Amino acid sequence: MFNFRQDFIRFAVQQKVLCFGEFQTKAGRLSPYFFNAGLFNDGASLRNLSQFYAQAILASELPFDMLFGPAYKGIPLAAGAAIALAEQGRNVPYCYNRKEAKDHGEGGTTVGAKLQGRVLIIDDVISAGTSVRESITLIRAAGAEPCGVVIALDRMERGQGTLSAVQEVEQLYQLPVIAIATLSDLLNYLQGEEQMQENLQATQSYRNQYGVSYE
């Protein structure tokens, strides 16, 4: 049922969205891998990415009424996920925000369907949690209720304290965070690729140093 996780990692590597080498994170750590969802930048890759989001959402069995994509990266993700869900027989409305309120035309800070009911936030990753916090504030101000967050990859890496960024969001806002794939899925993928054993060792060492267990 969850083979899509390994398929997603393989797809991200093929698209060079998931790269290996030496990359400095915002926290100043030297990571052996880097994930940049912005490189899903053509029609075919966005379609496939959207299908992975839909699979992760449906597999979670999380009740929700609509999707919300935080500007800017979340906009195509929410739209794409809505299309992919409709293709799976689940037609739901979606909405996204503007960075600045529009004072003419229809006005307001959001575009798309009215924010109401249980709102599922669609984003690429969670690092500092700023995008999630702003989304939750906006959704609640509209009288709706955030019910969860869906991201592409969970690095399962310590934030400022002992928890990962995902765990911090879950604890602070009491919301589930659903990831298409996690660092554990990445390691499982690398274990099956003979030509990537050096990357496996580097990634495992990085996890040993900075990783967080979800057990």
List, by residue number, the catalytic residues: 102, 104
Sheet containing 145-154, strands listed edge to edge, beginning at the edge strand earlier in sequence: 108-112, 94-102, 66-69, 118-122, 145-154, 177-182
CA distance 112 to 96: 7
Q: Are 8 and 52 in contact (CB under 8 A)?
A: yes
Measured between alpha carbons, how far is residue 173 from residues 128, 135, 193 in Å? 14, 12, 38
Q: Are 85 and 103 in contact (CB under 8 A)?
A: no
* Alpha helices per DSSP H over the chain: 3-14, 43-60, 74-87, 130-141, 165-173, 183-191, 197-210
Which three-class secondary structure state does DSSP give residue 72? coil
Structure tokens belonging to residue 196: 């990537």
- State the sign of the Cα–Cα–Cα–Cα dihedral 79, 81, 83, 85: negative
CA distance 104 to 175: 35
Q: Are 176 and 169 in contact (CB under 8 A)?
A: no
